[in-house]
Amino acid sequence: MKNTEGSSEAKRRAGEHAADLVDDGDVVGLGTGSTAAHAIRALGRAVDSGLDVRGIPTSFQSRQLALDAGIPLTSLDAVDGVDIAIDGADQVAERNDGGFDLVKGGGAAHAREKIVDAAAERFVVVADPSKLVDPLDYPVPVEVLPDARPTVAGTVRALGGEPTLRAAAHKDGPVVTDNGNVVLDCDFGPIEDPATLASELAALPGVVEQGLFVGLADAVHVGSADGVEVRG
Ligand code: 5RP
């Protein structure tokens, strides 16, 4: 399940703009997806030019990209904190209090993304304009232990959602996450109260992580053909 709209130029601008926020000595959370990949490549170029950073990847994909880009890697248990995390989103809704709610997990990486993004002093979202919505209505990715798939799916239906087991793109069978689990994409239509839905989903036995990131992001860098708008 993935929103494939949005120009790659807009994504590039957003990713590169956010990478500029990284300071010498920073520990950086490296998000997952095509927009975050632009930030990782830009950081790699900065490392080539002498910037001293350590990255914490949020997925197998971002780890591989960072290694290819020459970014030294570390892990949460080896650092005192994360200075900044740069990550993409499937949808972004601005809240009344000026914060942001997100749906993430189009790349099935939202469990590790949430750990790293939430740990960061500053969590910056990179997006193209197609990601900005009000309200959120993207199917919420829910990573579940394989044994819990039927029971979680049943409760999601009882909560008014329609769960779909995410299928692997290039082979038979379901997508398997970096953590060995499966993903239910749960369509609730417009989500008027993300905080309540997030709590309900998170409380279900067998749910490893759900893809609503409620109020976690500090800023959103929205790329376009003309430049980058910073919100927050
Ligand atoms: C992965 C994610 C991605 O950040 C999200 O899917 C956005 O990806 P892209 O930048 O390719 O549109 O949450 O789990």
At residue 7 the predicted structure's pLDDT band, cuts being 50, 70 and 90, is confident
224 and 202 share one domain: no
CA–CA gap between residue 123 and residue 28 (Å, rounded): 10
How far is Cα 25 from Cα 94, in angstroms, rounded to an integer?
31
Indicate the pairing of strand 82-87 with strand 120-127: parallel
Q: What is the pLDDT of residues 77-119, one digit of tens each?
A: 999 999 999 999 999 999 999 999 999 999 999 999 999 999 9
Our count of domains for the chain comes to 2
Q: Are residues 150 and 109 in the same domain?
A: no
Residues 100 and 170 in one domain: no
Same domain, 109 and 177: no
Give the per-residue pLDDT at 182.
Answer: 98
Query: What's the domain range around 45?
Result: 8-134+214-231
pLDDT of residue 222: 98
15, 101: one domain: yes
Say how many Å lie between the CA of residue 183 and the centre of ligand 1: 15
222 shares a domain with 185:
no
- What is the average pLDDT across 11-40? 98
47 and 30 in a common domain: yes
Pocket (CB within 6 angstroms of ligand 1): 2, 31-36, 87-90, 104-110, 113
User: Do 108 and 192 reside in the same domain of the chain?
Assistant: no
For 33-74, write each residue's pLDDT tens digit: 999 999 999 999 999 999 999 999 999 999 999 999 999 999
Number of other residues whose CB lies within 10 A of the CB of residue 4:
7
* Co-location of 17 and 125 in the same domain: yes
Task: Tell me: do 112 and 184 sit in the same domain.
Answer: no
Look up the pTM and report it: 0.96
Residues 129, 105, single domain; the answer is yes
Q: How high is the pLDDT of residue 6? A: 57
The pLDDT > 90 percentage for the chain reads 95
2 occurs within a structural domain: no
CA of 161 from ligand 1 middle (Å) equals 22
Show the 3-state SS of 141-187.
Answer: EEEECHHHHHHHHHHHHHCCCEEEECECCCCCCECCCCCCCEEEEEE
Give the residue ranges of the annotated binding site for substrate.
Answer: 32-35, 87-90, 104-107, 131
Helices marked H in the chain — which ranges? Answer: 8-19, 34-48, 60-69, 110-119, 149-158, 194-202
Residue minimizing CA distance to atom 10 of ligand 1: 35
**Ligand 1 centre from 81 Cα, in Å?**
24
pLDDT confidence of residue 2 = 54
Q: Is residue 102 located within the same domain as residue 49?
A: yes
